[in-house]
Structure 1
Amino acid sequence: MKSDGDTVNMITGLQWKQMMRFGARALERKKHDVDALNVFPVPDGDTGTNMNFTIQSAVKDAEKTSGASVAEVATAVSMGSLMGARGNSGVILSQLLRGIAKGLEGHKEANGLQVAQALQVGVDTAYKAVMKPVEGTILTVAREVAKGAQNSAKHGAPPLQILKDAYVRGQLTLEKTPDMLPVLKQAGVVDAGGQGFLIILSGWIAALEGQEFEEEVVLATPQAESQMIRGITAIEDLEFPYCTEFLVKGQNLRVEKIREDLAASGDSLLVVGTEEVVKIHVHVKNPGNILDYAIQWGSLHQVAIHNMLEQNEAMAHAQKHEELDESSLQETPSEEKEHGIVAVAMGEGIADVFRSLGVDEVIFGGQTMNPSTENIVEAVRKVQAKNVYILPNNGNIVMAARQVKELVTDRNVYIIPTKSIPQGISALVNYNPQGDAAENAKNMEDGLSLIKSGEVTYAVRDSQFGDLEISEGDILGLIEDVIQVTGKDRLQVAKETLDTMKWKDHDLVTIFYGEDVSEEQAEELRTWIAAEAPHIELELYPGYQPLYYYIFGVE
């Protein structure tokens, strides 16, 4: 039965939790509609999917809270979205939710004006997180939503009416996004991220109106989630077998101090939160010591302790026999080294090349499978080094990677903003294992301008891109993420893409061929290159990457 939401003058923590459930459910139902708004016709890390996983991670953390304080629930939402953020759209959504949590700090309940103010803090936080904000995106829509809420709140409207007024203004703004971004106008669509945010907002409104779920919210995870984090070591060292996770609630909690005090207690330490609520996750030998320490700060909640040794012993035994040769079975002490590297790869062959160039941990991901901030944090935690360099190797992963610096503070983290696999290779070539950390980071980033990147893939939808008429299934040649060549024949598009990259004017061409390309087909391309310019060095590797037939690096 519906209730009159207009009579609700204060939003409680339980209501905020319900709003998040409804928002997540609304986006879950329409995520593919949001994906369809992506103007780029290539297989990509879809906006709706990334936002969906981000908000579902937020709801998952919110469900763990037992208190009725709106601040407590909003803080849990913020933490969950931060750790689950995927892709640029997911990261921006997490920053909006993080700012909203800041705006609700200290409130047991929130009235309409406080909700409107929290929305504005969310927008301010999201804008600050984006290095070069672009109008006509989710940022613009969220900003106007906040303005609509503020204007409504000035007239003393209750929370439900404020959100309705905010939604109307946001919808009007969304409809104008094609006039702000030419690429949207050409494709005849509105901004996908803005649409996703309004869908979430519609869920919040539905919750306050007292609507009911048709079914329970299913907190899905990517099928590949369990395989997302992989590296040289498949099972982490269980020197610290107890995974200990809990919340501390109190006053004047000092996150940095707690993190510093617990730094030597175990591994996989994560301490995030506010002055009122801190979330702690750590792997230790003795959970009692950690709990004894934490209780000095406040009350303990949602304590969960798991014996990983017992749970994973059989799996670890099987994987060791399958993946490790006799020499790697020899026990060696784990010593902290000066430098370590984490890289994202989209194929086993590419991962092997990265490892051969010194990468310690490989995260399997890329197009259509953007790793979350938490995935990257876990990979960084596995690297026993004072300085860790992260190579996202995809433009849609850079923002998630940048958030890792805030979460990992017990070592120096450097984000090298690589946007392609060839850029990742170039960064590694400019890496000096004996060099200074800051100088290494500079040299690795400077090397990105020395290489051109290209890809050959296929169109997932009919579209118009510039002067190019593209049909679903067409073969596409991209240079620096811009479609330059279209055709029906894979080999011909590959040749034309390389020619457009002016490969003959360079010294080295590196090619990774994908899982849908046979060795014989790759050799056809090699033969053509050798005949056209035998003086140019060619490196051809089986990358086994999905979706992309070829990845080119020209330098």
Structure 2
Amino acid sequence: MGEQVVLIKLNGAILYNMFRRGLMVLEENREAVDILNVFPVPDGDTGTNMVLTMRSALKEMEKVESNSLSELVQAASLGSLMGARGNSGVILSQLLRGFAKGLEGKTEINALEFAQAMQIGVSTAYKAVMKPVEGTILTVSREVAQGALEMAKKTNDILAVLDAAVANGEEALIHTPDLLPVLKRAGVVDAGGKGFIFILRGLREAADNAAKDKDLEGRPTDSVRPEITMDIARSTQSQPAAESDSVIEFQYCTEVIVKGQQLPLEQLRQDLALLGDCLLVVGTEQLAKVHLHSNNPGLVLENCLKYGSLHQIKVDNMQEQHRAFEESGLVRDLAQSESISAETTDVAARTAVTNDSAQDQFSHRQIESPSAIISEQVDKKVGLVAVAAGQGIGEILRSLGVDEVVEGGQTMNPSIEDLVQAINRVSTSQVIILPNNSNIVLAAEQAAKLVEKEVKVVPTRSLAQSISALVAFDLDASLEDNYQSMLAGSKRAKSGEVTFAVRYCQLDDLDIKANQIIGIANGTIKVAGEDPAQVVKDLLQQMVEEEDEIITIFYGEDVEANQAEELAAALSQDFPNCEIELHHGGQPLYHYYIAVE
């Protein structure tokens, strides 16, 4: 029987090899993690997100020229933070962040220090999540750290501590379905927790090799994300506007939502351009948002009424607001927010926001002209960043006033770095982010903390919620007021998705076969069938209520335009009391996105 191998101390070189092997083991088992999706939909990407997060950590560690343990773990913390994708990736980055805090200033560590740093990592991760959910990677990491600490109090052997950590974590992983009913119904364990266990196994293998004096040569050959530095987290603040002469030419700020069929937005813009300034007309042929400063709000509303029904009418007396600001010494801020050049107004008055063709209604974004994006012609207090999958959806969001669209969605979550860069590209010092996916919310919240700008995250989880939030956006309102109104607006939307099942699954009364079409309403699978159009109809029968007025359909890249038009025509017959709006979303994997208002 051979001599027992022990490892008493960890230095920077050993820890680097441990992290590197952790990434390798995770990469080898990425698909096994990805497949552990609660729903059988084609967006299981937890393993991929965790791999990309760890790659970013290793990439940053490779820049450190020394073998300083403290410098290496700080680099891993930075790299994982900026490269974090998805909820599990963000939580993993927070575990590494806390771990790095616990090792700050250290050149080597013993078993107890290693375990204590893991405890700090868990505490940091829990604090990063507004509402921690048990039965997830959080639970597994907590039990891992607890197992490590208990063993470290008994022995100074780091290998024994890692063995205890892995054993505790695997036991916790088995019981995640007992803590999270949705896992039990799907018959799976938590994907993030599983990925974390694979990383730990890699750490243990590398530590064992170090104890046996087996150095792991080379570095991962897989492509890694480009160099990341904290420079991208420094925003460029815009220069203060010139002093105002305190004269308000137009007394009333008028806002209204216009709903109708084939709304002539260019004509509406031309009609309103003569009535005031700060004109903004954005939207689609079925719904448009109008903003105008005028001395005759009644005439503004009359012009809008010619083309459709009026909703959410808002008229503010800016003279009274100005007087109140003047008395409180804040008049300069008001003047800045309301300033707009006559040249910009003239350009806006001549610019169309939609084409005549319903299928090509958002192609105006392809025009190579500064005037193509109407929302950029008005001085905004608050900028907007949104995440979208599909060119069509991106154009729709831009038409509703979004300044920066970040590519991403179900199958490829953007990194925190991607979101930080988008925030900093927006010219305003205040920004609202619409993540539009439950797996991107946490990354958006972390990105908001990394910039000098003031940022709020409206936690939209679908395109329908995003559009409802954008309709509630007020060009003249403050960041906080817009956040509250957009949050309330997002909660009024009902969301639906139609996609295909990637595996067999039994949920409640549904026996879902692999590759069968499924309909999801507000996060719950409601319908399964063979034909996407029929699934849409069946799903809407469960979603639409008596008070609903509008059904909006966004068809994906795999749906032909004529198929979508036939579906829209059929829905007009099935739901005669609702307006049916049809848009090309171009989203991958999902045949249809649905919004009901």
Matches within 5 A, 1:506-521: 506-521=548-563
2:220 corresponds to: 217
Query: In 2, Cα distance between the equivalents of 1:146 and 1:532?
Result: 56
2:588 corresponds to: 546
For these two proteins, the number of residue pairs brought into alignment is 464
2:259 corresponds to: none
Query: In 2, Cα distance between the equivalents of 1:35 and 1:544?
Result: 24
Query: In 1, Cα distance between the equivalents of 2:368 and 2:202?
Result: 52
Q: Identity over aligned residues, as a percent? A: 49
2:238/2:428 contact within 8 Å kept: no
1:503/1:509 contact within 8 Å kept: no
Query: In 1, Cα distance between the equivalents of 2:582 and 2:238?
Result: 46
1:484 corresponds to: 526
Local SS of the residue matching 2:114:
helix
Q: Which runs of 5+ in 2 are unaligned?
A: 240-364
Q: Is 1:438–2:480 an aligned residue pair?
A: yes
One-letter amino acid of the structure 2 residue matched with residue 475 of structure 1: I
1:468 corresponds to: 510
1:144/1:170 contact within 8 Å kept: yes
Matches within 5 A, 1:351-390: 351-390=394-433
1:102 corresponds to: 101
Q: Which runs of 5+ in 1 are unaligned?
A: 226-242, 248-258, 267-321
1:349 shift after superposition: 0.8
One-letter amino acid of the structure 2 residue matched with residue 489 of structure 1: D
Query: In 1, Cα distance between the equivalents of 2:105 and 2:580?
Result: 61
Matches within 5 A, 1:392-407: 392-407=435-450
Q: 1:5 to 1:112 in 2, by over 3 A?
A: farther
Q: Deviation string for 1:166-223 (max 9, x for gaps)?
A: 111111221222322233333333221111101101111111111666974134358x
Query: In 2, Cα distance between the equivalents of 1:159 and 1:150?
Result: 11
Query: In 1, Cα distance between the equivalents of 2:366 and 2:544?
Result: 42
Q: Deviation string for 1:123-158 (max 9, x for gaps)?
A: 111111122222221111111111111111101332
1:25 corresponds to: 24
1:336 shift after superposition: 7.8
Matches within 5 A, 1:263-278: none
Q: 1:522 to 1:4 in 2, by over 3 A?
A: farther
Matches within 5 A, 1:43-442: 43-210=42-209, 216-220=219-223, 325=368, 337-409=380-452, 411-442=453-484
1:483 shift after superposition: 0.4
One-letter amino acid of the structure 2 residue matched with residue 119 of structure 1: M
Query: In 2, Cα distance between the equivalents of 1:470 and 1:186?
Result: 13
**CA root-mean-square deviation:** 2.8
Query: In 1, Cα distance between the equivalents of 2:107 and 2:466?
Result: 47
Per the normalisation by structure 1, the TM-score is: 0.79
1:459/1:471 contact within 8 Å kept: yes
Local SS of the residue matching 1:145:
helix
1:433 shift after superposition: 1.0
Local SS of the residue matching 1:209:
helix
156-165 or 349-358, which deviates more? 156-165
Query: In 1, Cα distance between the equivalents of 2:379 and 2:104?
Result: 39
1:497 corresponds to: 539
1:53/1:220 contact within 8 Å kept: no
Query: In 2, Cα distance between the equivalents of 1:398 and 1:405?
Result: 11
Local SS of the residue matching 1:133:
coil
172-181 or 53-62, which deviates more? 172-181
1:535 shift after superposition: 3.5
Per the normalisation by structure 2, the TM-score is: 0.73
2:42/2:501 contact within 8 Å kept: yes
Query: In 2, Cα distance between the equivalents of 1:475 and 1:413?
Result: 38
One-letter amino acid of the structure 2 residue matched with residue 69 of structure 1: S
